[in-house]
Amino acid sequence: MLRFKNLGSGSTGNASVVEAQCGLQTTRMLVDCGLGLKELERRLIQADLCLADLDALFITHEHIDHVGHTKRVASSLGIPVWMSQGTWLACNGLDWGLSESQINVARDTQPIEIGGLQVTPFTVPHDAREPLQVRFSDGSVSLGILTDLGHASAHVVQQLKGCNALMLETNHDSELLKASGYPQFLKDRISGPFGHLSNDAACELASQLNHVSLNTVLAAHLSERNNSPDIVLSCLSRALGCSEDDLLVAAPDTGSPWLNIQ
């Protein structure tokens, strides 16, 4: 059995828990660590978990909303941390040094097995040193986690084909971003090919990944200024040909409920 819960999503801090249950063995991986230790603990308790329930940590890239509190969380839990070589180098360069013995290097499409959890990282186009996003499986169903990418490359589409659940970035509405008070360089960065996925681009990707067994779609990493859950639900439901009630949007402060993947 595979289930997941987003604990918080967006530029204020990202973290999700993915859990595989195989017989009596339960394995949990925290994906990204943009929440402080106390806040992470508080949100885990709301999810009926505690810090000691986490078995491993995966960091997708070095941006502060994803890596921010990794050092503190990893050193107090003493659990293995997975990230790309580029993310590791970037973290050290930014003095978010972690103990080298805890670090495991994750590589594009190279599977990692932790307990009953199969983890397949894949490269995404984003303005970080070597960003990875992740596909998870328990051997029967699969979940794709995909945020922080400027466009959906053919590689991304290939890696997420056949997923039963998706957590998918719907970062901004292009018109709201254009009309926003953001400086031009920031608008260009966000909307560029190595920035963040617009609603329209996310919808196009969602329709490419749609299939009869895609049962769960969680929209994530929404800009608080240049997007809204209503806009996202409306365009995603049209793209997927489903009701808005069948979709979920991850909130910055509460994330999502636990989602069982079927």
The contact mask relative to Zn ion for 122-161 (x = CB under 5 A, - = no) is --------------------------x-------------
Q: Binding segment for Zn ion among 17-25, 62-70, 97-105, 135-143 (CB under 5 A)? A: 62-70
Taking the complex as a whole, how short is the minimal distance between the CB of residue 185 and Zn ion, in angstroms? 16
Of the two residues 50 and 64, which places its CB atom closer to Zn ion in the complex?
Answer: 64
Q: What are the respective helix, strand and coil percentages of the chain, to the nearest 5?
A: 30, 25, 40
Contacts of 131 (CB under 8 A, 6+ apart): 60, 61, 84, 86, 87, 123, 124, 148, 149
| Beta-bridge mates of residue 249 | 219
169 neighbors 146 (Cβ within 8 angstroms)? yes
Contacts of 230 (CB under 8 A, 6+ apart): none
Residue 169 is a binding residue for Zn ion (CB under 5 A)? no
Residue 55 is a binding residue for Zn ion (CB under 5 A)? no
Pair type for strands 81-83 and 103-105 = parallel
Distances (CA, A) of 120 to 48, 113, 145: 26, 9, 10
Residue 65 is a binding residue for Zn ion (CB under 5 A)? yes
Among residues 63, 69, 71, 187, the one that binds Zn ion under rule CB under 5 A = 63
Count of residues that bind Zn ion according to CB under 5 A: 3
Report the residue closest to Zn ion, judged by CB: 63
